[in-house]
Amino acid sequence: MLHRNSQKRYYEPKAIYFIVTKTFENILYFKEPIFCELFIEELKLCREMKKFKLFGFSLIYNHLNLLIQPSDKFNVSKVMKSLKENISRDINYLIENRRFEGDTSTCRLQMRDILGKLQKQFIFKYGQNQCKIPKFKWQKSFHDHVIRDQIDLENHYIYTAYNHQKHNLPADWKYTSLNYKYLIDEVE
């Protein structure tokens, strides 16, 4: 049963999806490099655990663009739920300076070491009891587009990989698939 506010999704087997999701109220959480590094680690783990193919991504201050092909076992909604849920939990773990509790159903124990290192950096930068950064949340749901053909894929790849230029971020913006080629799958 769908939640009354749920968006109806079209699930096409073997389809490649272009996805956009934004932070709640467009808060610029990803201006903070520590949060960006945490996102990259979660993206790696989610890709491994949910078995999707990743063809491109860009993380901008207030939103994320992805080009993915979900596996047969985990559809695009399950992938996005896992990614958004775990990023939210991990960033809030840093903001709230709390001990790791593993409070979500898809908690990733592999993140303990990474979170520990990033928490030390975060405390050094912001102090033990910071209250300047609001609790992290994503907007509800996400926008998706099923890629129709090779031209559509190429257009969305260029848009995704170079999205930082559209938003006047530095030319050497780190958080795009252009800089993480080892994470990117080949299109068959």
pLDDT (tens digit per residue) in 163-172? 999 999 988 9
- Domain assignment present for residue 10? The answer is no
Give the CB-side neighbour count of residue 68, counting CA atoms within 13 A.
29
Q: What is the total count of domains within the chain?
A: 1
- Domain assignment present for residue 187? The answer is no
* CATH code (residue 96): 3.30.70.1290
Over the stretch 32-71, which tens digit does the pLDDT of each residue have? 999 999 999 999 999 999 999 999 999 999 999 999 999 9
**Pairwise CA distance, residues 78 & 155, whole Å:** 25
- Domain assignment present for residue 166? The answer is yes
Which backbone phi and psi does 21 adopt, to 5 degrees? Answer: -140, 150
| Confidence band for 92, pLDDT divided at 50, 70 and 90 | confident
pTM listed for this prediction: 0.83
How does strand 17-22 pair with strand 63-69? antiparallel
Which backbone phi and psi does 97 adopt, to 5 degrees? Answer: 50, 55
- Domain assignment present for residue 1? The answer is no
pLDDT of residue 113: 65
Q: Which residues contact 38 (CB under 8 A, 6 or more apart)?
A: 87, 90, 91, 94, 114, 115, 118
Over the stretch 1-36, which tens digit does the pLDDT of each residue have? 444 555 677 788 899 999 999 999 999 999 999 999
Tell which wins on pLDDT, 118 or 77. Answer: 77
pLDDT of residue 110: 54
Over the stretch 121-152, which tens digit does the pLDDT of each residue have? 677 776 666 667 788 999 998 999 999 999 99
Residue range of the domain that includes 36: 17-181
- Domain assignment present for residue 7? The answer is no
Q: Which residues contact 139 (CB under 8 A, 6 or more apart)?
A: 21, 22, 23, 24
CA-nearest of 67, 61, 58, 54 to 35 is 61
146 DSSP β-pair partners: 17
* Rounded average pLDDT over 75-101: 84
- Domain assignment present for residue 76? The answer is yes
Cα separations (Å) of 81 from 46, 50, 76, 78, 168? 10, 11, 9, 5, 29
